[in-house]
Structure 1
Amino acid sequence: MAVYGIDLGTTHSCIARIGDVGRPTVLRNMEGTDTTPSVVYFESADNVVVGAPAKDTAVLSPDLVVSLIKRDMGHEVTRELHGRDYSPEEISAFVLRKLVADAKATTGEDADDVVITVPAYFGAAERDATRKAGHIAGLNVIDIISEPVAAAITYGVLNPDQDRTILVYDLGGGTFDTTVITLRDGDIGVVCTDGDHELGGADWDARVVEHLAERFAEEHPDVGDPLEDPHTEQQLRHDAEEAKKALSLRTRHVVRVMHEGRVATVELTRDKFEEITKDLLDRTIEITGRTLATAAEKGVKDYDDLVLVGGSTKMPAVPQRLANELSLKPKLQDPDLAVAKGAALYAFEETYRQLLAKGETDKALDLASRAGLSEAEQERMASRQITTVASRAFGVIALDPVTEQEHVVHLVHANDALPRGKSREFGTVDEDQTIVKIIVVEQAGSAESTEVAHNNPIADGELKIPPGKPAGYPIEVTFALDTSGLLHVTAVEKETAEELTLDVRVGGMSEDDVQESRTDLAHVRVD
């Protein structure tokens, strides 16, 4: 059996598996590249194109091309294309189908069993949406793990005999995370994490787009705004990304901006690029500082390594700034591919452990043997432990009986160790109350807050109360956050043992909706 690790990225995605020598290998797509642009072109109602061809088509048909969909995961938004509304989960499912189809073309084996990575700062809603995207794509999602954890697994396997404390700085195309991780006797422990899932290389591109449009307007003030033309805007986005990559290798780059028959030749220097994007880099440094402060509160103050992950860390300003700020020499940890490789290692190890747990020792040994693992490597793999933390705080909305003001009571706090279970007793507000509405919320900002407006609702339900009960009648609410960061909530009325189980629903999609989407989209061809 083959298991795969998938880095489902905001701008690029890739898939990996364990090779014959027990090392992770990224599988190239049908276009011959390691990574696939996370871009979907809806050519027709029955055919979609994913990857580089879709990205190229964005200039010609911007209204039929979807990119950066990862930023919508966990939100109730849709895109209407060819008369049908598509959820973020469904669009992400097309990217996943492309990855696994290309993997099968390369290996000859079905890529059904997968581990998918998410940013560390993704909350329960976004993680659940990612899992559902996998199911819509027809995959068996073994687990959802954080990208820095995946990168740390890759690092730990390459350095198996070293105990280290590392800071992972993960700046991808659309998200940013910074995580403190310990490696002890092969075990991986997440100390704390922080981030912003709407900060990444795409924002650097956007600054370049604005700069190019401004320079064009200066030269041609009598012509319309280039950003109001969808075709010109898409071309500028393409040119901006190419400029960013070029300026990582040299100090100057020239872009020709063409709009309404006019041309402006814009020379962009690395210094200018770093100037117009400085506040973006500042934000990552601020978040990193918060992470280090949280780690210090937990007793971690000394670091052995600063590991850079994510394609955007190849911008020269990133390692330079980090070296100056932290007095650590940054290490580029295979920035584009480390996450997928780590996910493949985790998928392999988790499958191996599950086989042993089910008593299927022969299958486990066969799996390890085909991967060329020694007995020592098998023992290490069977015993490796990975511990992680909650990325956000989670709670319920409560009503103060005195002030009659709503506020949030958190049962799980950011950076609590996982798995985490916590129960708390609440009471009804009114006499003879027969229904209690339970609203589960997740921390929305960078800091925990009891203000309702500073939290996002992610689940709700109603619990029946027996008639004739006084105000303050007890209800017990239990939160269970598993190691994948997925939340399970129950509320119990103790007299009749009436129990309400709340599903954390994302984008309005229930499990029935997921199955319906899987069936409905199965006929769509993905190229």
Structure 2
Amino acid sequence: MIVGIDLGTTNSLAAVWQEGRATLVPNALGETLTPSCISLDDDGTVLVGRAARERLQTHPERTAASFKRYMGSAKTLALGERDFRPEELSSLILRSLKADAEAFLGQAVEEAVITVPAYFSDAQRKATQTAGRLAGLKVERLLNEPTAAALAYGLHQRDAETRFLVFDLGGGTFDVSILEMFEGVMEVRASAGDNFLGGEDFLMALVDLFIEKAGLPASVRQDRLFLQRLLGAAERAKKALSEQPKAEIKVAYKGQDLSLAIDEPMLEHACATLLKRLRMPVERALRDANLRSAMLDNIVLAGGATRMPMVRRLATTMFGRFPAIDFNPDEVVALGAAVQAGLKARDAALKEVVMTDVAPYSLGVAVSKRLPDGSTTPGHFDPIIERNTTVPVSRVKNYVPISEGQHCIDLHIFQGESRMVRDNIHLGELRVDTPSANIEDSAVDVRFTYDVNGLLQVEATVLKTRRTVSVVIQGNPGLLTDAEVAERLDAMQGLKIHPRDTLENRTTLARAERIYALLRGQVREWLSAQILRFESDLATQDMRLAAQGRARLEAQLDQIEQSGAVLADDDH
């Protein structure tokens, strides 16, 4: 069975194609959204999803979130005394989603179509595939997130000719894709994006505003416990502004109760720079597709951050029309991934749908250029595959050494659009040994092959000897070797994952612990007694008694939060 997975910065979810439609998979809590959050419990057990997110405020040193932003890098994140790479943490999310899908379907799940931001680099895509391997999934297909959203949207438009733009603002990334649908063919015309622009950045802008208005020192950002509480309070206020004109951020700091009343204009002013950054990828995609906004039939919103009123106003202003709201923006990417899974499984209901995609960025090498006076200047970017070229694609260019007698050519491979490679992203390098007799005999053909998964293969052929060096980019410090993957896989097998059948109880306890840490006085003592009562219910191992105790404690926690007794909160 193949599942579609939206592996998100803030939330992740799975969907399957069955009985002619895409269906979301519920997790152990009966929810379709699983927070992309991992926590290591005191006994070494791994908590995934909402139970882990509840511990962000109480155990920040043992909890990790937003690690998708570090995919493809060598960065590690510490949970207690153990370090994890981003792909290892992502694999734990994938393992959880895989277990949910197997429980939902009643059969084993061995393969997945996983979505990635359109602007993810080669290294980030390979890291995503590695995360799948570590989770026990075969991942032959990666799907760009805006393309996935377009698949979900376009499936209902397959008999029409339409041209639309997908505006995908998630928790950590922003992507734009322009697509055309005609006679069952969905063609991506252009993609653009920003890998470091998402809902998390808008939230941090609000946190920065609070710190500034409250007159707190800059060092407060190093206090992980306080920062997580402030982030929770800011998130609640940001969500409240989506439904009401004003909201308030309330949090305690060193025994002092701090608050800040905010409204939509204040939030929009704080996020002005971020809103401006949203315009640039849209304008680039329109230019590359040779279109004006008036030539689009519709605007499709994807990603939870598009719920923000200021983002919807910006989209309405830019395109001169209201965006389509046919789909839940949190779910549309996962639904599209399920469609792609159905296509891969050759489902009869999808046999008439054909999809093409593009390379969202230019790929090339660093070259030296000769000046009129005969001298050379290094560090220039020479594209081999231009951005928004239809994929799969293979392109070749010829290069010669700078000077006579060179024994090798070092190919430095880059992604980007800047004239100088110093302003682009270094993907890797390849050394090609060459004959040293003269420049002409040392000429090399360099072929770039870019596939539908967004993975790049580089081939260099010495023309005189016809010797070919063929690699999938080496030398990137963010990539694991096959041996390292096997070693990490063995280590991951030793991790204890909290069982699905008791996850509801653990999530309720984590929520109670978070709220307890935020309370003071008599209500805190009272809550402590209620937590002990629930733990006593669990100790009986009577499932009926445990369920009753959980429902009772959840209702009590709801009452505390609704009463305003908690000074800092998250999105419950």
**Normalized against structure 2, the TM-score is what?**
0.81
How far did residue 324 of structure 1 move? Answer: 2.4
CA distance in 2, matches of 1:274, 1:280: 9
Task: Give the alignment partner of residue 177 of structure 1, picking from 175, 178, 187.
Answer: 175
CA distance in 2, matches of 1:45, 1:411: 52
**1:432–1:471: 8 Å Cα contact kept in structure 2?**
no
Runs ≥4 in structure 1, deviation > 6 angstroms? none
**1:46–1:523: 8 Å Cα contact kept in structure 2?**
no
Q: Deviations over 1:329-384 (max 9, x none)?
A: 211232010100110110111121xxxxxxxxxxxxxxx4xxxxxxxxx2x62342
Q: Which moved more, 1:484-493 or 1:99-108?
A: 99-108
Decide which structure has greater helix share.
Answer: 2
How far did residue 470 of structure 1 move? Answer: 4.7
1:204 alignment counterpart: 202
SS at match of 1:296: coil
How far did residue 99 of structure 1 move? Answer: 1.2
Distance 1:239 1:472, change over 3 A: farther
2:341 alignment counterpart: 347
The 5 Å alignment of 1:493-512 reads 493-505=462-474, 506=476, 507-512=478-483
Distance 1:191 1:224, change over 3 A: closer
**1:4–1:16: 8 Å Cα contact kept in structure 2?**
yes
2:135 alignment counterpart: 137
The 5 Å alignment of 1:308-323 reads 308-323=301-316
How far did residue 158 of structure 1 move? Answer: 2.2
SS at match of 2:376: coil
**1:212–1:257: 8 Å Cα contact kept in structure 2?**
no
Q: Deviations over 1:70-89 (max 9, x none)?
A: 11112232224455442221
Matched, 1:15 2:14: yes
1:233 alignment counterpart: 227
**2:180–2:186: 8 Å Cα contact kept in structure 1?**
yes
1:362 alignment counterpart: none
Task: Give the alignment partner of residue 282 of structure 1, picking from 261, 276, 281.
Answer: 276
How far did residue 392 of structure 1 move? Answer: 0.9
**1:115–1:144: 8 Å Cα contact kept in structure 2?**
yes
**1:178–1:288: 8 Å Cα contact kept in structure 2?**
yes
SS at match of 1:409: strand
Task: Give the alignment partner of residue 254 of structure 1, picking from 237, 248, 253.
Answer: 248
Q: Deviations over 1:2-51 (max 9, x none)?
A: 210000011111000023x3111111111221111111113369532221
**1:478–1:491: 8 Å Cα contact kept in structure 2?**
yes
How far did residue 216 of structure 1 move? Answer: 2.9
CA distance in 2, matches of 1:462, 1:293: 36
Q: Which moved more, 1:224-233 or 1:302-311?
A: 224-233
SS at match of 2:460: strand
1:408 alignment counterpart: 381
CA distance in 1, matches of 2:483, 2:395: 29
Q: Which moved more, 1:38-47 or 1:108-117?
A: 38-47
CA distance in 1, matches of 2:381, 2:140: 33
CA distance in 1, matches of 2:480, 2:133: 12
1:518 alignment counterpart: 489
1:331 alignment counterpart: 324
How far did residue 472 of structure 1 move? Answer: 6.0
Q: Deviations over 1:123-149 (max 9, x none)?
A: 222222211211121111130011111
CA distance in 1, matches of 2:394, 2:218: 58
**2:17–2:339: 8 Å Cα contact kept in structure 1?**
yes
Could you tell me which amino acid in structure 1 is paired with residue 397 of structure 2?
A: R
SS at match of 1:100: helix
Could you tell me which amino acid in structure 2 is paired with residue 323 of structure 1?
A: T
How far did residue 67 of structure 1 move? Answer: 1.3
Q: Over aligned residue pairs, what C-alpha RMSD do you find?
A: 2.2
Q: Deviations over 1:88-119 (max 9, x none)?
A: 21221111111111222222222221000011
**1:123–1:391: 8 Å Cα contact kept in structure 2?**
no
2:405 alignment counterpart: 432
Residue ranges of structure 1 left out of the alignment (5+ in a row): 353-367, 369-377
Q: Deviations over 1:132-185 (max 9, x none)?
A: 211121111130011111111111222332221001111111111111111111
Could you tell me which amino acid in structure 1 is paired with residue 471 of structure 2?
A: L
Matched, 1:263 2:257: yes
How far did residue 449 of structure 1 move? Answer: 2.1
1:361 alignment counterpart: none
Task: Give the alignment partner of residue 425 of structure 2, picking from 451, 456, 480.
Answer: 456
2:359 alignment counterpart: 390
CA distance in 1, matches of 2:152, 2:82: 40
**1:154–1:342: 8 Å Cα contact kept in structure 2?**
yes
Q: Which has the larger radius of gyration?
A: 2
2:151 alignment counterpart: 153
Distance 1:99 1:325, change over 3 A: same
CA distance in 2, matches of 1:324, 1:449: 29
How far did residue 417 of structure 1 move? Answer: 1.5
Q: Deviations over 1:315-335 (max 9, x none)?
A: 122222222231122112320
CA distance in 1, matches of 2:270, 2:173: 19
SS at match of 1:116: strand
Matched, 1:419 2:384: no
CA distance in 1, matches of 2:205, 2:147: 30
Task: Give the alignment partner of residue 107 of structure 2, picking from 109, 115, 137.
Answer: 109
CA distance in 2, matches of 1:469, 1:45: 66
CA distance in 2, matches of 1:293, 1:494: 38
CA distance in 2, matches of 1:245, 1:468: 68
SS at match of 1:388: strand
**1:460–1:502: 8 Å Cα contact kept in structure 2?**
no
Could you tell me which amino acid in structure 1 is paired with residue 410 of structure 2?
A: K
Distance 1:15 1:452, change over 3 A: same
SS at match of 1:395: strand
**2:72–2:479: 8 Å Cα contact kept in structure 1?**
no
CA distance in 2, matches of 1:387, 1:56: 41
What fraction of aligned residue pairs are identical, expressed as a percent? 31
Could you tell me which amino acid in structure 1 is paired with residue 484 of structure 2?
A: D
**1:396–1:441: 8 Å Cα contact kept in structure 2?**
yes
How far did residue 281 of structure 1 move? Answer: 1.9
**1:74–1:126: 8 Å Cα contact kept in structure 2?**
yes
**1:459–1:503: 8 Å Cα contact kept in structure 2?**
no
CA distance in 1, matches of 2:3, 2:333: 12
Task: Give the alignment partner of residue 461 of structure 2, picking from 459, 471, 492.
Answer: 492
Distance 1:301 1:475, change over 3 A: farther
SS at match of 1:99: helix
SS at match of 1:431: coil
